[in-house]
């Protein structure tokens, strides 16, 4: 065993990411990404699912817990930065790895626009700087979001990332702030009978409930950050499960609490009437077109006592968190494209690194360009009355932020579906890799003469996320066209590229996963796991084959 | 921030908030059941209560593990 370890250590070292992220750092990394989603998702879901918003969040939340458990198992077993794309690539092969990665890329580009869009919405709700309200004008809004995307692209090309300490501080402040809002809201203004009344009186039809569920999943997107953090976390196999489960529960609690509070809270001061002069309920006010982009800030301002103070800082805190999330879209898309290019799933141009700044300049520019195109599509109905009528006729009048939400849900549901299948495949194809954390409820069985475990929760999660994908396709006219078009366009490009390069088009290239796994565990500092892995491999195969593998 | 999260006071605070989460989760579950009886509309509240209890238990367990390690 010592020989194997020495042999593995003797390989020439390539520059790798420094493992400096602690347990708290890993939590805050994930929180600053996933935690921002509720700032966008709450208003959209309230607008769609009305009195059943908490049910929509519950359904999406249960699916999200399954996804989170799957990511935790996979990230602790394979602590590399590729995330869902890497897991699918490894479990299902090249073409499915490409499809999953391409769907994740769609999500990252939407992430850039959606969070930049919402960041401006939050800032416009800041009462102490009334001139920021001008950003709610469609043209100003469009230009400011555009400028923000260009600025983020420039920062990433220049090579500036927000510091880990800043992430940790913002996450800590946000957890405290959200807890305070919920505490004061539930303690002084929540009425369970009002919640029951709203759920009964404003229960949506099936179509709107499906629409709400498909939008609720966007409050839980960003689990890629768990695996991205795994690449830079100290002892990931033991730290990732601990922090991920806390993160999953925290996000679930916030989403369920906000939705229940929105439906059952008696506002501290009167809500203004709608455009027709009718009285509005709080959930209706939060979900209308004017407020759905900044629902958490508006809700916070109606909370007793704390609300007066929250109105001053929640828009800023929300905007910062959303900006970090938007930046993670720029950073994440370039990193995934770079990784896909290195494994010959994308052309080598995406590996091109700026000689002076050492950043993947082509990937950043290309995917920020895609984000700008998405921004134009999202902003068109508000910029031109003609386009507004066209969207109303073709797409049932979906507004910009809903258009972005549609595509976000589509990309997430597609990539997560593949991750569940990959997890099941890896349990059988790579049973030798030690798993410090496993999804609960497994059926032990024998596969090709070797013991393996069938993950029941992965099947439940797959059914859940597949149904959300179906809901997205049924309820979103734009998502139904644009989402599959993105996948088909990418797939055509992939087939042409692989054919021209003389690489297998529908089949996978040969990969030495055993060698790769030894390297991954070695670089993660998980030497005990590496030894265990080599023991498992040795026990599973004839001695001569194992020896040949190690010598190679 | 890193110094703070490594301190003993932080670990204790996490244990105390963990106990509070358990109490809050239990209160939500009991109050919901008492108010509505068995009703499908109470599922989100029950899941919220259960999630709070699990999060609290994790925090308390972390603190217990830490104490055992220090000893």
Task: Identify the pLDDT of residue A34.
Answer: 86
Task: Identify the pLDDT of residue A338.
Answer: 86
Return the sign of the alpha-carbon dihedral for residues A523, A157, A415, A320: positive
In a 13 Å sphere around the CA of A405, the CA atoms on its Cβ side amount to 32
Distance CA A34, CA A149 (A): 20
DSSP code at position A265: B
In chain B the first and final C-alpha atoms are separated, in Å, by 25
Task: Identify the pLDDT of residue A7.
Answer: 43
Distance CA B67, CA A347 (A): 53
Show me where the domains of chain B are located.
2-70
Match domain A2-12+20-501 to its CATH number in 3.20.20.70, 3.40.50.720, 1.20.1740.10, 1.10.10.10: 1.20.1740.10
Q: Tokens 């709450």 sit at which residue? A: A42
Instruction: Name A454's bridge partners.
Output: A443
Distance CA A336, CA A343 (A): 11
Checking if the pLDDT of A60 tops 90, the result is yes
Q: How many residues does chain B have?
A: 71
Q: A22 and B5: CB-CB below 8 Å?
A: yes
| Percentage of the residues of chain A whose pLDDT score is greater than 90 | 48
Number of A–B residue contacts, CB under 8 Å: 54
Instruction: Residue A243: name the closest of A78, A67, A76 by CA.
Output: A76
Distance CA A237, CA A477 (A): 42
3-state secondary structure of A533: helix
Token representation of residue A398? 């979906």
Checking if the pLDDT of A295 tops 90, the result is yes
A203 and A195 Cβ atoms separated by less than 8 Å = no
Question: CB of A57 within 8 Å of any CB in chain B?
Answer: yes
DSSP for A79-123 reads --TTTHHHHHHHHH-HHHHHHHHHHHHHHHHHHHHHHHHHHHHHH
Task: Identify the pLDDT of residue A353.
Answer: 84
Distance CA A106, CA A102 (A): 6
Instruction: Residue A414: name the closest of A355, A366, A485 by CA.
Output: A485
Q: B1 and A256: CB-CB below 8 Å?
A: no
Instruction: Name A471's bridge partners.
Output: none
pLDDT tens-digit map of A446-505: 888 888 899 999 999 999 999 999 999 998 887 788 899 999 999 999 999 999 999 998
Q: Which of B51, B54, B57, B66 to mutate to test the interface with A (most CBs of A within 10 A)?
A: B51
Do β-strands A450-455 and A442-447 pair in parallel, antiparallel, or remain unpaired? antiparallel
Show me where the domains of chain A are located.
2-12+20-501, 513-551
- Segment among A127-141, A253-267, A277-291, A520-534 with least mean pLDDT: A127-141
**Across all residues in chain A, what is the average pLDDT?**
86
Please give the average per-residue pLDDT across A513-540, as a whole number: 89
Checking if the pLDDT of B29 tops 80, the result is yes
pLDDT tens-digit map of A325-356: 888 888 888 888 988 998 899 999 988 888 88
Classify residue A130 as exposed, middle or buried by CB count within 10 Å of its CB (0-12, 13-18, 19+).
exposed
pLDDT band at A543 (very low <50, low <70, confident <90, very high): low
Instruction: Residue A380: name the closest of A403, A349, A411 by CA.
Output: A403
pLDDT tens-digit map of A133-149: 677 788 888 999 999 99
User: How far lies A437's CA from each of A17, A103, A452, in Å?
Assistant: 24, 26, 15
Instruction: Residue A65: name the closest of A333, A264, A256, A199 by CA.
Output: A256
A221 and A408 Cβ atoms separated by less than 8 Å = yes
pLDDT tens-digit map of A208-241: 999 999 999 988 887 777 777 676 677 788 888 8
Token representation of residue A67? 């996804």
Q: Which of A60, A62, A72, A246 to mutate to test the interface with B (most CBs of B within 10 A)?
A: A246
**DSSP H or E stretch at residue A357:** none
Question: CB of A256 within 8 Å of any CB in chain B?
Answer: yes
Structure ipTM over 0.90, yes or no: no
- Looking at per-residue pLDDT, the higher value among A6 and A527 belongs to A527
Task: Identify the pLDDT of residue A545.
Answer: 54
Residue A46's φ and ψ, nearest 5 degrees, are: -60, -40
Token representation of residue B8? 């003993």
What residue in B sits closest to A56 (Cα-Cα)? B44
- Looking at per-residue pLDDT, the higher value among A62 and A279 belongs to A62
Task: Identify the pLDDT of residue A14.
Answer: 45
Instruction: Residue A292: name the closest of A515, A499, A53, A497 by CA.
Output: A53
pLDDT band at A552 (very low <50, low <70, confident <90, very high): very low
């Amino acid at each position: 065993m010592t020989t194997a370890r020495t042999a593995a250590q003797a390989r020439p070292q390539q520059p790798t990411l420094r493992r400096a992220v602690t347990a708290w750092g890993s939590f805050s990394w994930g929180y600053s990404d996933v935690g921002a989603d509720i700032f966008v998702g709450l208003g959209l879901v309230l607008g769609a699912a009305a009195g059943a918003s908490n049910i929509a969040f519950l359904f999406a939340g249960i699916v999200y817990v399954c996804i989170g458990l799957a990511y935790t198992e996979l990230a602790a077993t394979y602590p590399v930065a590729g995330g869902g794309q890497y897991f699918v690539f490894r479990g299902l092969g090249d073409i499915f790895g490409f499809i999953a990665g391409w769907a994740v890329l769609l999500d990252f580009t939407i992430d850039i626009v959606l969070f930049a869009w919402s960041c401006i919405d939050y800032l416009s709700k800041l009462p102490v700087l009334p001139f920021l309200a001008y950003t709610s004008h469609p043209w100003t809004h469009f230009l400011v979001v555009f400028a923000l995307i260009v600025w983020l692209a420039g920062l990433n090309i220049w090579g500036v990332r927000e510091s880990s300490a800043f992430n940790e501080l913002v996450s800590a402040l946000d957890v405290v702030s959200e807890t305070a809002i919920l505490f004061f809201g539930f303690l002084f203004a929540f009425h369970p009978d009002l919640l029951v009344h709203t759920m009964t009186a404003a229960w949506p039809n099936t179509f709107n409930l499906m629409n709400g569920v498909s939008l609720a999943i966007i409050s839980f997107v960003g689990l890629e950050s768990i695996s991205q953090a795994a690449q830079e976390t100290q002892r990931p196999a033991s730290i990732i499960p601990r922090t991920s489960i806390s993160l999953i529960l925290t996000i679930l609690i916030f989403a369920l609490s906000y939705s229940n509070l929105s439906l059952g809270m008696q506002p501290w001061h009167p809500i203004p009437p709608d455009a027709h002069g009718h009285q509005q309920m709080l959930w209706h006010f939060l979900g209308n077109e004017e407020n759905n982009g900044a629902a958490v800030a508006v809700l916070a301002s109606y909370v007793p006592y704390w609300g007066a103070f929250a109105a001053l800082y929640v828009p800023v805190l929300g905007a910062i968190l959303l900006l970090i999330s938007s930046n993670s879209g720029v950073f994440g898309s370039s990193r995934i494209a770079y990784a896909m290019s290195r494994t010959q799933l994308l052309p080598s141009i995406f590996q091109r690194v700026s000689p002076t700044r050492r950043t993947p300049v082509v990937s950043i520019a290309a995917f920020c360009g895609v984000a700008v195109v998405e921004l134009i599509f999202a902003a068109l109905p508000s910029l031109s009355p003609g386009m507004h009528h066209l969207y109303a006729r073709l797409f049932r009048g979906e507004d910009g932020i809903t258009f972005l939400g549609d595509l976000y849900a589509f990309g997430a549901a597609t990539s997560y579906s593949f991750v569940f299948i990959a997890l099941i495949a890896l349990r059988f194809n790579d049973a030798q890799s030690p798993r410090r954390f496993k999804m609960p409820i497994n059926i032990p069985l024998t596969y090709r003469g070797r013991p393996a475990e069938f993950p029941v929760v992965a099947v439940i999660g797959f059914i859940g996320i597949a149904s959300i994908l179906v809901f997205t396709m049924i309820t979103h006219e734009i998502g139904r066209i644009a989402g599959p078009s993105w996948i088909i366009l990418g797939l055509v490009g992939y087939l042409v590229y692989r054919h021209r390069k003389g690489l297998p088009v529908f089949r996978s290239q040969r990969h030495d996963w055993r060698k790769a796994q030894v390297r991954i565990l070695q670089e993660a500092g998980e030497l005990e796991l590496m030894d265990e892995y080599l023991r498992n491999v040795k026990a599973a195969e004839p001695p001569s084959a194992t020896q040949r593998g190690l010598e190679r | 921030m890193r110094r703070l999260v490594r301190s003993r006071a932080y670990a204790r605070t996490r244990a105390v908030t963990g106990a509070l989460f358990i109490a809050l989760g239990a209160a939500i579950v009991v109050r919901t059941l008492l108010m509505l009886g068995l009703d499908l509309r109470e599922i989100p509240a029950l899941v919220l209560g259960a999630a709070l209890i699990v999060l609290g238990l994790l925090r308390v367990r972390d603190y217990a593990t830490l104490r055992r390690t220090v000893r």
